């Protein structure tokens, strides 16, 4: 696990700072793999190496390919998240860093934004954006796999994930969300934006799934059931909406309940 940004302040959420259960620079073992199934949702067959290689390759062109369609949806997700001054926020799969800089502005100088992404090249593009916008002091970037978050349990107010959960194979989805729950404080919020299979009959969903099946190297993700995934992971759903990109997208906000909640 590499850190590509400035060091987090002492006592912050990076593993090794204050929680003796997690050693420096290491992440906890994920929970035991379990069987998880979402009806109709396709599996993801690509290895981590293939995914990393793909995003490294397209990092510099990603905005050209995706910004026009994904930008407005991400904005709606950030509005639902409503990050506040002083909060500590984690973005998983930050890509070219548009949301990192928005989040850094929202949390202000007293807050902190952490970001983790599998792709080193995405990290470089994001770091450059943060430098340009003079926000690098508020953001700590790490290169790694979201299945093993290198952050201390129960230290974060907010987790944000946009167009990333659908890259994980179905049995991995609850493992990633377990990690999100672990790092969130009680009553912490999570917002997930993801391509949705809630309306499986749409033509675009069918075309997308056909392409994913036949050309998995070009289309590594597929529509999933976002709200269902968050509910199954034990989050209390607060707000949820669907938006139309060229495919249906779900934006869902969940809250980590107290142990008794």
Ligand X SMILES: C[S@@+](CC[C@H](N)C(=O)[O-])C[C@H]1O[C@@H](n2cnc3c(N)ncnc32)[C@H](O)[C@@H]1O
Q: What is the spatial distance between Cα 143 and Cα 215, in angstroms, rounded to a whole number? A: 27
Residue with Cβ nearer ligand X (55 or 151): 55
Nearest residue to ligand X, using CB?
95
Compute the C-alpha angle 56/58/63, nearest 5°.
125
Residue with Cβ nearer ligand X (122 or 253): 122
Q: C-beta of 113: minimal distance to ligand X in Å?
A: 13
- Is-contact 150 25, C-beta < 8 A? yes
Q: C-beta of 243: minimal distance to ligand X in Å?
A: 13
Provide the binding-site residues for ligand X, judged by CB under 6 A. 51, 55, 70, 74, 92-95, 116-119, 122, 145-146, 162-164, 167
Residue with Cβ nearer ligand X (165 or 225): 165
Residue with Cβ nearer ligand X (120 or 239): 120
Residue with Cβ nearer ligand X (11 or 57): 57
Write the secondary structure of the chain as one string of H (helix), E (strand) and C (coil). Answer: CEECCCCCCCCCCECCCCCCCCCCCCCCCCCCCCCCCCCCCCCCCCCHHHHHHHHHHHHHHHHHHHHHHHHHHHHHHHHHHCCCCCCEEEEECCCCCHHHHHHHHHHCCCCEEEEEECCHHHHHHHHHHHHHCCCHHHEEEEECCCCCCCECCCCEEEEEEECCHHHCCHHHHHHHHHHHHHHEEEEEEEEEEEEECCCCCCHHHHHHHHHHHHCCCCCCCCCECHHHHHHHCCCEEEEEEEEECCCEEEEEEEECCCCCC
Q: C-beta of 73: minimal distance to ligand X in Å?
A: 8
Residue with Cβ nearer ligand X (215 or 261): 215
Q: C-beta of 55: minimal distance to ligand X in Å?
A: 3
Residue with Cβ nearer ligand X (119 or 155): 119
Bridge partner list, 115: 91, 141
């Amino acid at each position: 696990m590499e850190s590509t940004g400035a060091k987090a302040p002492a006592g912050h959420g990076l593993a090794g700072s204050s929680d003796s259960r997690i050693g420096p620079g290491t992440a906890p073992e994920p929970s035991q793999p379990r069987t998880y199934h979402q009806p109709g949702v396709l599996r993801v067959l690509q290895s981590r190496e293939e995914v990393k290689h793909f995003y490294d390759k397209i990092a510099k062109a990603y905005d050209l390919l995706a910004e026009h369609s994904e930008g407005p949806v991400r904005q709606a997700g950030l509005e639902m998240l409503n990050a506040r001054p002083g909060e500590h926020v984690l973005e998983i799969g930050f890509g070219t860093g548009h949301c990192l800089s928005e989040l850094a502005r929202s949390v202000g100088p007293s807050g902190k934004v952490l970001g983790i992404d599998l792709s080193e090249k995405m990290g470089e593009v994001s770091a450059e954006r943060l430098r340009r916008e003079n926000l690098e002091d508020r953001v700590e970037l790490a290169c790694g796999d979201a299945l093993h978050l290198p952050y201390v349990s129960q230290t974060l107010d907010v987790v944000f994930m946009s167009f990333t959960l659908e890259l994980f194979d179905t049995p991995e989805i609850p493992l990633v969300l377990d990690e999100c729950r672990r790092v969130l404080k009680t009553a912490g919020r999570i917002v997930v934006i993801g391509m949705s299979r809630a309306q499986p009959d749409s033509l675009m969903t069918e075309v997308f799934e056909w392409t994913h099946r036949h050309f998995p190297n070009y289309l590594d993700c597929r529509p999933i059931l976002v709200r269902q995934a968050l509910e199954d992971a034990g989050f209390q759903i607060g707000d949820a909406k669907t938006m139309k990109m060229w495919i249906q997208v779900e934006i869902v906000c969940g809250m980590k309940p107290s142990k008794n909640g």
